[in-house]
Amino acid sequence: MKHSHILIAALALALSACRPACRVVRAEGSRVAMDAAFDARPDAEAIALLAPYKYRVDSMMGHVIGTSAIDMDAHRPESLLSNLVADILREAASSTLGRPADMGLVNMGGLRTTLSRGSITMGDAYEILPFENSLCILTLRGSSLRKLFENIAYRLGEGVSGVRLEVSDDRKLLGATIGGLPIDDDRLYTVATIDYLAEGNDGMSALTEATSRVCPPGATLRSLFITYVEQQAQAGRSVTAQMEGRVVVR
């Protein structure tokens, strides 16, 4: 984690540790650029105050939970990291549905950094997935699913699992299959995604047409990612992904 990020996390631990004895006596605000210049000139008093809490944060974030066989990043129309996370979401629906969802969906903007080859730490999970997004399993009629594919086409790709999309460079949907089959407008399909997208954000307006929505408690995307990496490690496997032509721009 960046030095300034560690300070913020350590400060949160320090404040929680001193309650209820601590009280705010004055509050002032200003804009401070969190950049390399800030990290180069840290406040000595603050560093001393936060040192024991920073140690605790470093210990937690430095914990190795597994390994990655390859470097993975996130980019449109398709990427290794987005494929991996979309697959994790789709499989995570099994605990609710008794089977994987028909489709997994994650937005590229929710994946904030790359996953490097080698050890995967708890800190890596927090840097890649810094938001408190949670799993939501939506049921969509085929006609709404087609609109969702059009939403994704307009974005020139997002992280998907279980589907294949062909998109024109002017953002039109040219073709789509789900589970290897054409869309049936009258059939009901399940989509495993995150609550942020389930609300129609990032241009995924079709998701608001869901006929049902289940968001299992405590199933954050980060926790699902961590669990998956740990399970792979316990099985003696490294995390990996493949480019499969899930979204192709022509």
Provide, rounded to the nearest whole percent, the portion of the chain with pLDDT above 70: 91
Alpha-carbon distance 187 to 204, whole Å?
20
Rg of the chain on CA atoms, in Å: 21
Residue 225: burial class (beta carbons within 10 Å; 0-12, 13-18, 19+)? buried
Alpha-carbon distance 93 to 48, whole Å?
45
Name the residue with tokens 């028909």: 102
Give the model's pLDDT for residue 43. Answer: 82
The amino acid sitting at 4 is S
| Token pair in block for residue 43 | 């406040």
For residue 50, name the pLDDT band (cuts at 50, 70, 90): confident
Say if residue 146's pLDDT is above 80.
Answer: yes
Give the model's pLDDT for residue 131. Answer: 95
Q: Are 197 and 207 in contact (CB under 8 A)?
A: yes
**CB-based burial, 93-119: b 16+ in 10 Å, e otherwise:** beebeeebbbbbbbbbebbeebbeeee
Give the model's pLDDT for residue 1. Answer: 43
Alpha-carbon distance 69 to 49, whole Å?
39
3-state class of 249 per DSSP? strand
Give the model's pLDDT for residue 241. Answer: 98
Say if residue 248's pLDDT is above 80.
Answer: yes
Say if residue 136's pLDDT is above 60.
Answer: yes
Mean pLDDT value of segment 93-111: 98
Q: Collect all residues with Cβ–Cβ distance below 8 Å to 49 and sequence separation of at least 6.
A: 14
Q: What is the distance of C-alpha 71 from the center of its chain?
A: 17
**In what side-by-side order are the strands of the sheet with 212-214?**
159-161, 103-106, 188-194, 135-141, 212-214
Mean pLDDT value of segment 146-163: 98
For the four alpha carbons of 103, 108, 112 and 113, in that order, the dihedral sign comes to: positive
Give the model's pLDDT for residue 164. Answer: 98
